[in-house]
Structure 1
Amino acid sequence: MSAWLTIVLIIVVLVIVAAILFAVRASRRKQLQKTFGPEYDRVVADADSRTEAERELRDREKRHAELELKPLSAESKARYSVAWEEVQIQFVDAPETAVSTADELTTRLIAERGYPTGDYDDQLATLSVAHARTLEHYRDAHAISERSRTGEASTEDLRQALVHYRALFADLLGENPVRSEGAASPAAEPKVPNQQINNHDSDVAGSRPDATSR
């Protein structure tokens, strides 16, 4: 075999290996995008490189796999549904208290499902693996809840917070938290007295318009 043919074979092998590596990387990237949805773009935007971002997401998957997640019993689901209905009723007279209760109720549900609830960032990271599509709701609700503690949230902000909490709450619960035979209809949102808001439609019952238009 001539030296020239040897070089050609080496080049061919290198090209094949590179193609395989590229295909593997593309497949893993596609899987991460499917798993994390809009969270993938957020992590990539915050990281120094796409490689670093994807490493972070794979680490999240590993930590998530180590959790002992538990399905809720029918009794627990019913109990949480009733508790959520009470939060929505409470909102009419005490919106700030209702939002605080919604935060506590959501945190309790997160814990009962088996997710960590200590550090907020760790909580978001582990939730992002299986609940990425409602995670932005939780971020927005948490941000409004923080502003509410300092008196910087309007009544409409608080209503939006409850809508956002409800999105993750329903996702974790596995069903609509407001029962049709309960105190509110399935699509109900917390009501805000007319004199406190103007010209606002209730078109965000189960979805959130976000920056990426997902």
Structure 2
Amino acid sequence: MSPTATIVLIVVLLLVVAAVVIGVQLGRRRRLRQTFGPEYDRVVADTGNRTEAEKELLERTKRHARLELKPLSAESRTRYAAAWEEVQIRFVDDPGEAVSTADELVTRLIAERGYPTGDYNEQLADLSVEHAATLEHYRSAHDISRRSREGAAETEDLRQALVHYRALFADLLGEDPVAHTTPAPRPAADETVPNTDTSTR
């Protein structure tokens, strides 16, 4: 084989290898986007580096695979749905306490499904593999719950927190815990009941 032919062959082989590598990378990227949805873009933005972000998401996937997750029994789902309805009823008279209880209830549900509940950030990372679609709801609810404990949350904030908690709660439960929407606090005589229809939110 002539030197020219050898060079051409090497170039062709390098191009083939490069195409295979790029194809693998694009396929991995597509799978990660499908798995993590908006969480993919969030991690890319947080790290500022797509390669590092994808390494982080792959590590989450591996860690998630080692968890011993388990489905809820029908009895447990019924118990959690009843507990959630109690939270909504309590919201009418004590929004702050209802949100605090919702946070505790969601944490118990997360633990019963088999997720670790020690470190909040690790908890988010573990949940992101199967519950990425509702993870931002959990972040928002957790932030409002923290502000509520500090006395910096308004009643409307607390109502939104309950809406956010309910999104993750239903996702983990596998069904909407109740058929009706999150209640609003009882208005004073001169106030109008706020719109609590969450279907357009």
| Shorter-chain TM band | over 0.9
Whole-angstrom CA distance in 2 between matches of 1:156 and 1:90: 15
- Tell me which amino acid in the other structure corresponds to 2:144: I
Indicate if the aligned counterparts of 2:187 and 2:193 stay in contact, CA closer than 8 A.
no
Q: Which of 190, 201, 204 matches 2:198?
A: 204
- The C-alpha deviation readout for 1:47-104, integer Å capped at 9, x for no partner, is 1310000000000000000000010000000000000000000000000000000000
Identity of aligned residues (%): 67
User: Which residue pairs with 2:133 in the alignment?
Assistant: 133
- The C-alpha deviation readout for 1:113-137, integer Å capped at 9, x for no partner, is 0001000000000000000000000
User: Which residue pairs with 2:182 in the alignment?
Assistant: 189
- Tell me which amino acid in the other structure corresponds to 1:202: T
User: Which residue pairs with 1:65 in the alignment?
Assistant: 65
Sort the Cα spacing of 1:173 and 1:22 in 2 relative to 1 into closer, same or farther, 3 A.
same
Indicate if the aligned counterparts of 1:156 and 1:197 stay in contact, CA closer than 8 A.
no
The two structures have a TM-score, normalised by structure 1, of: 0.89
- The C-alpha deviation readout for 1:20-56, integer Å capped at 9, x for no partner, is 1101100000000000000000000001310000000
Corresponding position: 1:13 with 2:13: yes
- Tell me which amino acid in the other structure corresponds to 1:190: P
The two structures have a TM-score, normalised by structure 2, of: 0.95
Whole-angstrom CA distance in 2 between matches of 1:135 and 1:146: 17
Deviation at 1:139, TM superposition (A): 0.1
User: Which residue pairs with 2:25 in the alignment?
Assistant: 25
Deviation at 1:188, TM superposition (A): 1.4
Indicate if the aligned counterparts of 1:144 and 1:157 stay in contact, CA closer than 8 A.
yes
Where in structure 2 are the equivalents of 1:24-173 lying within 5 Å?
24-173=24-173
Sort the Cα spacing of 1:200 and 1:17 in 2 relative to 1 into closer, same or farther, 3 A.
farther
Indicate if the aligned counterparts of 2:184 and 2:193 stay in contact, CA closer than 8 A.
no
- The C-alpha deviation readout for 1:126-161, integer Å capped at 9, x for no partner, is 000000000000000000000000110000000000
Runs of 5+ unmatched residues, structure 2: none
Runs of 5+ unmatched residues, structure 1: 179-185, 209-214
Question: Number of matched residues?
Answer: 200
- Give the RMSD, CA atoms, in angstroms: 1.7
Whole-angstrom CA distance in 2 between matches of 1:146 and 1:198: 28
